[in-house]
Structure formats: C-alpha cells, structure tokens
Amino acid sequence: MKTKIIIISSMIMVLIIFLAACTNNQVAGNVVAEQKTVKIGLSLPMTGTAASYGENALAGAKLAVKEINSKGGINGIPVEIILEDDECDAKTGATVYNKLSNIDKVNAIVGPLCSGVASSGLSLTKNTVNVIAMASLAELTTMGESIFRVYPSDAYQGKFAAEYIKKQSPNKKIAVFYTQNSWGQGIYNAFIKNSQGIDIQYKAGILENQMDFRLDLTKIKNKEINTIYFIGYPSNTIPFITQAKELGIKSKIITGDSSTSEEVLNLEISEGVIALLPRMELSDEFINKIKSIPEYKNLEVSISAAYTYDAMYTVFKAMEKGGDLKEEISKIEFKGITNDKISFDENGDLKNTAYQAQIIQNGKLVAIN
C-alpha cells in the first residue's frame, strides 16, 4: 500500500512539474521558451521585378525587430528573422513557403509583397499564421483561417481607380494596361466591374518583365485618350512612362503603388504622374528611424517598409498576449504607421481602409485634395 502511495505521489509530482513547465514555457500560441529565439519568416522579393520593394520591406522588418529586441524581445525571448527571396515569382514562392513553414518551422510568416507568391504559398502553410504585408489579390485572405493582411485588397484599389477616373477624366476616354498575373488581373477585374460610364478605347495585358511598349503606345497615340491607367511593377513602369513621353503622348498617366519606388520617383519624366494609393503618409520620424540603421542610411524609404513594419508588429503585439496567435491577432487593435487603427474583419482583412490620389512633384508624392 505504501509503495502504491509513493508511486501515485511521484506521478502527481511529475504531472505538476510538467504542467508548470508548460505554463511557464507558453509565450504565445505556438511559441515556447524551449526556443532560443522567436522565429519570424520573411518572404520578400530581394531580386526580380519588385526588388526595390523587397529592400524597403526588409528595412521595415529589421527596424521592428531592433525595437522589440531592445525591449527584451517577446516576453523575454529575442526575435530573429529568417529571410527567403521569393523573387516575386509564384513557383519560387511555393518553395519559400514550404521551407519557412515545414523546414525552418517559423512561428509566423510576414509577407509576401507579391500576390502570385501568396497564391502559391499560402495553401502550403495552413498551420502557420501569415500576416500579408502588401500582396493585394482580394481572395488571398479566404485561403485559410490563419491569414491576415495589413494592406487593402485589390477590390478597393480597382474600385477607387474607376471612381477617380470618372471624376477627373474630362472625356472619360482611357486606355488600360494591366500585368497578366493574379495581382494585375485582380485590380483590372475590380476596375472593370466599376467602370460604367468610362469609355475604354484600348486595353492590353502586359508581361511582368515586359520592357517594350512602343507597339501598343503607337496604337493609342492618335486616339482622343485623356487618361492611361497603368497597372505594373516599378521595373516596367519606368520604360512605359519613358516610351510614352518619347512618342509625344500627352495623356495623363495613372499608376498604382509602383510609383512609390525610388526608381520611378527619381525619374525626371515621372513629374505629373498620378499614383492611387492607400491613404497614409510616411512620417519623418519613421523615415529617420529606418535611416538610423547603418545599412539603410541612404535608402529612399517607401511604403513597403511601413507596411512590413506594421505586419511585424501585428505578430509581436499578438504574441505578447500569450494566447493562441491566430485568435489574438483576430482581436487585436492598435495604431500603426500605415493605419490609425489596425484591426481585422472576419476574413482577416483590414476593417479600416481608404485610398487617395497622389501626384509626383519634384521627386516626391504629394496628396491631391
């Protein structure tokens, strides 16, 4: 009998120690103190058509990690970044997501910036929380229950573009050029859905890496087109604007977030180009914080830095709560750099979002009232 009591007592003691360890080790959802670091996977385009976005996004992520680690990390555990270059390419993105989730076993993934990457990668990581930084294809957040996004979806951008052109284009005769991938097609579809009253004189799908637009531009040169809506990446926005000017085309050019890149802003002939962007303003304080990191002292800071920074803090603030990470993010509400109130609806998209038109003047984007 005495032996049984000793055995039972020993079992109870082991159970108590185990439960105590679990309680003490639990930091946030799938983060435990057995880890030396909290691992955040980053899927960013460090090379390819959107490399300038990727550099800025990494700068924003590094600033967020620098700040959180200076305060002791997540409940005492330092944060580290595991970076993978997705090249803004769907096939590469699938490989990146598989590695981050199933090999590196990161605690959360931040990114990507490109919708094609997200489309191929998200289905491979259903058990890993993902906070999308800028990939904007509308249906991305419906691909799983652990997907959130700090950037407005294409549904907003395409609709706003149609509404803006209706108000601002004198004869409403336009040409539309859109990238033939999930991102470009998504914005284009939302635009077409809301384009009643707009006279689309010419439309053309373009390749992600297309650099020569002279044939299409020549076709519209003599048409009475007041506005050109161009949905492309920075790498092809530059030759598009350049070739349009060389051909003497006077039409107003409207773009999306491609015009926030330093390559486009620094191009002299970009003067007067209009960009339709989520309503936000990069503060001097944030820009100076980015530039305080030695490797980024000369960086032309763009919005991808700010959105990635906010995506990182979405994860940090939820982890600090100590509960299930997905559940904590779904309840979160905080003031970010890009949005005064970051919180998410039932699909994981922002509850609070708005767009505005900005014009390039002297290498800077200036809000149009």
DSSP 329-355: HHH--B--SS-SSB-B-TTSSBSS--E
**Residues 6 or more apart from 235 whose CB is under 8 A from it?**
49, 50, 209, 211, 263
Average pLDDT over all residues of the chain: 89
Task: Write down the pLDDT at residue 33.
Answer: 53
pTM of the model: 0.81
- Which one-letter DSSP state was computed for residue 5? H
For the residues 45-50, what does the mean pLDDT come to? 92
pLDDT at 34: 66
Q: Is 80 exceeded by the pLDDT of residue 29?
A: no
Instruction: Give the per-residue pLDDT at 369.
Output: 66
Which segment of 27-31, 83-87, 315-319 scores lowest on mean pLDDT?
A: 27-31
In whole angstroms, what is the distance from residue 114 CA to residue 304 CA?
A: 11
pLDDT value, residue 5: 40
Domain boundaries, given as residue ranges, for the chain: 31-153+282-353, 155-280+357-367
Span 108-121, average pLDDT: 95
CB 187 within 8 A of CB 161: yes
Give the other-Cβ count within 10 Å of 209's Cβ.
Answer: 11
- Residue 133's pLDDT is 98
Beta-sheet pairing, 227-231 with 173-179: parallel
CB atoms within 10 A of CB 34: 8
Q: What is the pLDDT of residue 11?
A: 41
**Which pLDDT tens digit goes with each residue over 158-188?**
999 999 999 988 788 999 999 999 889 999 9
Are both 31-153+282-353 and 155-280+357-367 of the same fold? Answer: yes
Domain 31-153+282-353 bears CATH identifier 3.40.50.2300: yes
Residue 142 pLDDT exceeds 90: yes
Per-residue pLDDT at 75 exceeds 70 = yes
Domain 155-280+357-367: assigned CATH number: 3.40.50.2300
